Structure 1
Amino acid sequence: METLLIITAAALWGCGAGVLIPRPAYRLSVPTDAPWRSACPAGHPLTGIGNGWLGRARCAAGDSYGPSTLAIASVTAVVCALLAAAVGARPELVVWLLLAPAGVLLALVDFTAHRLPDVLTLPLAAVVLVLLGVAALLPDAGGSWTSALLGSLILGAGYFVLFVISKGFGFGDVKLALVLGAVLGWYGWAIVLIGTFAGYLLGALCGISLILVGRADRKARIPFGPFLLAGTFATVLLGSCAH
């Protein structure tokens, strides 16, 4: 009964948070160095809570904009419910539930505009380490803060090397790696390796599929962020079950 209540609460949280994602996704999905969008497609200024960042993705005329609210809310609810089912009542569940909507937002922006904004990635890296540090002090924590910190630093350094020697990575991926390394590192080094490989594998399969159907060539760049996030999510489910 307790597990069912946790899963239900997590799904409701994900749904509510997901409703608020399309507006910042729309505002942030702009080319590099371009200012964030401040008006809806019809030209109405975006106003409201948090200088217009929070609220439904509807303009003054009542028209929706950005990605589908129903689809995003559904995806976020499912992600949060699966995390709750796998992690249970452990302290780190709160951390994962707070990060899940941000991960969905990052995946949307990267998929749409091929960028991972510093305004999201850098604060998330700090927040996840602080929150995991608090979670590690609570009873029944299922991971290690030390390995989370080392995972963040090592994965970030590894992605930086790849950024320098490879044209397939952007610097946004390096900063995202700081977040993902902490999340994966919480469950140990085996999970870091599996999660990193899973993200690469998903990205490679997508690239190969696009080439085979003629929608991309070998020089085309695909947004790796969504695949890195998906690989981390799947591996966190695995790691939480193993612990």
Structure 2
Amino acid sequence: MDWLLIVMGALYGAVAGALVPRARYRLAVEPEEGWRAVGECGHAVGGWLGPARCGVCRGRYGPGALWPAGVTAALCGGLAAAVGARPELGVWWAAAPVGVLLAGVDWSVRRLPDVLTLPLALGVAGLLGVAALIPGAAGSWPRALMGGLVLGGAYLALFLLHPSGLGFGDVKLAAGLGCVLGWYGWWVLALGAFAGLLLGSLYGTVLMATRRASVMPLGPFLLAGAWLGVAGGGYWTG
């Protein structure tokens, strides 16, 4: 196990995760609202990356950086341990903070914005195409693209059959995650997809058992399942 790579991944993840809070605050709005441009203190919010603090009065207008930094550090360090120094690791590291941001926004307002889901899907597909050209890559780019079509198509079918059960943002997210999972194999795609649904079902069961009526965000669980699938695929194909 390359401990230096794991430490590098964790440090990168901590820094990248610490840049998430401001974007989360600005994007966590209802679909009919524009992105936030003013903080709760009344001062303008500058930029998209960094802490959710006002540059004028230093007041906080959103969640802190501790949890996104910690989660992203754990994700990137874990991916480094499972995948090793292979070309696709850079793709997973690039996607991790976007996934943390998506999870935070969805948890806050039950929404997966197109401004995140679509670039994630297109970016992952393009970067994996580059990774496939570098010696040492352990996956298949054509299969990754097919995985995106398969998982995205499956969630589209679920959305058409039961539109009140999930949003169209989940469909777009599934397309990107299918591309990620398909890279290592169909069994990884099945594992990641099943893990996401299982985690979401367990959380929904807890909500019902505790009688906490709530619209459940599915995105964080899809992302968690995808991370488990990629980590497992990276480890077993190493």
When the two structures are superposed, what TM-score results if normalisation uses the length of structure 1? 0.94
**Conservation of the 8 A alpha-carbon contact between 1:106 and 1:226:** yes
Q: Summarize deviations over 1:69-100 as a string: whole Å, max 9, x none.
A: 11211111111100111111000000000000
Structure 1 partner of 2:42: 43
**Which residue of the other structure, out of 211, 232, 237, is the alignment partner of 2:226?**
232
Q: Whole-Å Cα distance in 2 between the matches of residues 8 and 25 of structure 1? A: 26
Structure 2 partner of 1:196: 193
Q: Whole-Å Cα distance in 1 between the matches of residues 215 and 14 of structure 2? A: 32
**Conservation of the 8 A alpha-carbon contact between 1:163 and 1:174:** yes
Offset, 1:68:
2.1
- Tell me the amino acid that sits aligned with residue 141 of structure 1: A
Q: Does 1:137 align with 2:133?
A: yes
Offset, 1:178:
1.1
Identity over the aligned pairs, expressed in percent? 55
For the aligned residue pairs, the C-alpha RMSD in angstroms reads 1.1
Question: Which consecutive residues of structure 1, in runs of 5 or more, have no partner in the other structure?
Answer: none
Offset, 1:33:
1.8
Structure 2 partner of 1:57: 52
Structure 2 partner of 1:16: 15
Offset, 1:169:
1.1
Q: Summarize deviations over 1:106-140 as a string: whole Å, max 9, x none.
A: 00000101000000111111110110001111111
Q: Whole-Å Cα distance in 1 between the matches of residues 72 and 49 of structure 2? A: 17
- Tell me the amino acid that sits aligned with residue 186 of structure 1: W
Q: Whole-Å Cα distance in 2 between the matches of residues 66 and 87 of structure 1? A: 34
**Conservation of the 8 A alpha-carbon contact between 1:168 and 1:221:** no
Question: Which consecutive residues of structure 2, in runs of 5 or more, have no partner in the other structure?
Answer: none
Structure 2 partner of 1:118: 114
Which moves more between the two structures, 59-68 or 101-110?
A: 59-68
Q: Whole-Å Cα distance in 1 between the matches of residues 184 and 171 of structure 2? A: 21
- Tell me the amino acid that sits aligned with residue 120 of structure 2: L
Q: Does 1:168 align with 2:162?
A: no
Q: Whole-Å Cα distance in 2 between the matches of residues 65 and 93 of structure 1? A: 34
Offset, 1:10:
0.9
Q: Does 1:178 align with 2:175?
A: yes
Q: Whole-Å Cα distance in 1 between the matches of residues 166 and 217 of structure 2? A: 9
Q: Whole-Å Cα distance in 2 between the matches of residues 37 and 92 of structure 1? A: 34
- Tell me the amino acid that sits aligned with residue 136 of structure 1: A
**Conservation of the 8 A alpha-carbon contact between 2:147 and 2:189:** yes
When the two structures are superposed, what TM-score results if normalisation uses the length of structure 2? 0.96
Q: Whole-Å Cα distance in 2 between the matches of residues 97 and 5 of structure 1? A: 15
Runs (4+) off by over 3 Å: none
Q: Whole-Å Cα distance in 1 between the matches of residues 57 and 92 of structure 2? A: 36
SS in 1 for 2:136: coil
Structure 2 partner of 1:99: 95
